[in-house]
Amino acid sequence: PRTDIVFLKVHKSASSTVMNILFRFGERHNLTFAFPRGGGFQLSYPNHFLARFVQGFSPSTPRRFNILCHHMRFLQPEVQKVVPSSAVYFSILRNPVQLMESSFVYYKGASAFSHVRSLEEFLSDPYRYYNPTKGDRHYARNLMTFDFGFNPDGEVSPERVQLMLKAIESSFNFLLISEYFDESMVLLKEMLCWDLDSVVSFPLNTRDNSTKSPLPASLVEKIKAWNRLDWEIYTHFNRTFWERLERDIGRERLEREVRALRERQAELARTCLQGTGSVAAKDIKDSSLRPLQYGSARILGYNLKQGLAGDTEHTCRRLVTPELQYSSALYKKQFPPKPR
């Protein structure tokens, strides 16, 4: 199994669920994490990543960590200072149309979105609301492009797009696609030589359907045009994702493995969860399992069954622990507080 991993956690792309998978694997195998200094949750985002943002890193005694997976703006030469040279690099992408709709709800307080009532209003005249000099502009345009370290306001010439795609391909071993999450997990398992239980998950940081609404076709085209760099990244790597699956796994085995993964997840849901699945935060009885609520999104979580024993309770609890709580627990384990 591969244990040295860099995961670029792209915003609003099922990346919290992937992070939970990495947290569980790292905890089970006693691996070290490149945590943000002081136990925060982002590596000085939205600045480009620097090695000095990592707790326990010092240039004089370069310490290497197994897993780097907290939010960052990618800068490979700096990342290479904190992980072993053998690390596998991967990320996950989401269709930019859904990504922007999600960002609008989640980052409603961002400067570009704060004065409009709807995404339609914003896209009817984006430059009236969008200011390229604002520090939070990336939430409103080409968010994936920004997270990968590029300029979200860059020109969209064929040459520039090709350079960007080539740069991503040279830095990352593979990219997953959130719309095909189960197929992505089969590819992840294959690329990291992990077993099935290492890639099972329950969806985390998802929002209640009450804040989702279908987008008219005219708006979809505007979103694609406004996020053209993201659209180029997504369409290119969506294609290579399927080529990779076809080449490395093949259709028949892929179908078998996806089925096995879904069956295992259903089995764990029956074992672990009260009811049929996720619930609103106000209905989560155990406050330590309540996810952070942000923007105008309503983030869902889970209730565990009562009376689970030992290892089962531990496994189930880890599957549903929200990102911030899990990160804090692992941070304290890796950097125990000094006795007073």
Question: What H or E segment, with its residue span, contains residue 21?
Answer: helix 15-28
Give the total number of structural domains in the chain.
1
Give me Rg for the CA atoms of the chain: 20
Q: pTM score, two decimals?
A: 0.96
Q: Which residues form the domain of 174?
A: 5-330
In a domain, 98, yes or no: yes
How high is the pLDDT of residue 62? 81
Alpha-carbon distance of 211 to 287, in angstroms, equals: 23
Characterize the bridge pairing of strands 279-280 and 300-301: antiparallel
In a domain, 281, yes or no: yes
**Token pair of 233, please?**
């990244």
Residue 67 dihedral angles phi and psi, to the nearest 5°: -130, 130
In a domain, 338, yes or no: no
Residue carrying the six token digits 């792309």:
13
In a domain, 340, yes or no: no
In a domain, 309, yes or no: yes
How high is the pLDDT of residue 296? 74
Cβ neighbours of 110 (radius 10 Å): 20
Helix (H, G, I), strand (E, B) or coil at 208: coil
Report which DSSP code applies to 53.
Answer: G
Tens digit of each residue's pLDDT (9 = 90 or more) over 172-194: 999 999 999 999 999 999 999 99
Give the angle 159-161-164 at the CA atoms, nearest 5°: 110
Amino acid in the structure at residue 275: G
Cα–Cα distances (Å) from 316 to 168, 228, 278, 323, in that order, read 35, 40, 14, 15
**Among residues 185, 192, 189, 144, which one has the least CA distance to residue 168?**
144
Alpha helices in 113-227 (DSSP H): 119-124, 126-129, 143-147, 158-171, 181-192, 196-199, 217-226
In a domain, 318, yes or no: yes
In a domain, 336, yes or no: no
How high is the pLDDT of residue 340? 81
Report which DSSP code applies to 36.
Answer: B
Question: What H or E segment, with its residue span, contains residue 241?
Answer: helix 228-248
How high is the pLDDT of residue 232? 98
C-alpha of 172 from chain center: 15
Under a CB-based contact definition with an 8 Å cutoff, are residues 177 and 92 in contact?
yes
Tens digit of each residue's pLDDT (9 = 90 or more) over 147-181: 999 999 999 999 999 999 999 999 999 999 999 99
Q: What is the CATH number of the domain that holds 214?
A: 3.40.50
Characterize the bridge pairing of strands 88-93 and 174-177: parallel
- Residues in contact with 80: Cβ distance below 8 Å, sequence separation at least 6, in sequence order: none
In a domain, 337, yes or no: no
**Among residues 336, 55, 11, 2, which one has the least CA distance to residue 152?**
11
Residue carrying the six token digits 């960007």:
164
**Token pair of 17, please?**
């669920």
How high is the pLDDT of residue 290? 94
Q: Name 68's bridge partners.
A: 6
Per-residue pLDDT of the chain (340 residues; tens, 9 = 90+): 999 999 999 999 999 999 999 999 999 999 999 999 999 999 999 999 999 999 999 999 888 999 999 999 999 999 999 999 999 999 999 999 999 999 999 999 999 999 999 999 999 999 999 999 999 999 999 999 999 999 999 999 999 999 999 999 999 999 999 999 999 999 999 999 999 999 999 999 898 877 677 899 999 999 999 999 999 999 999 999 999 999 999 999 999 999 999 999 999 999 999 987 899 999 999 999 999 987 777 899 999 999 999 999 999 999 999 999 999 999 999 999 988 8
Instruction: Determine whether 76 is exposed, middle or buried from the number of CB atoms within 10 Å of its CB (0-12, 13-18, 19+).
Output: middle
- Omega within 30 of 0 (cis) for the link into 126: no
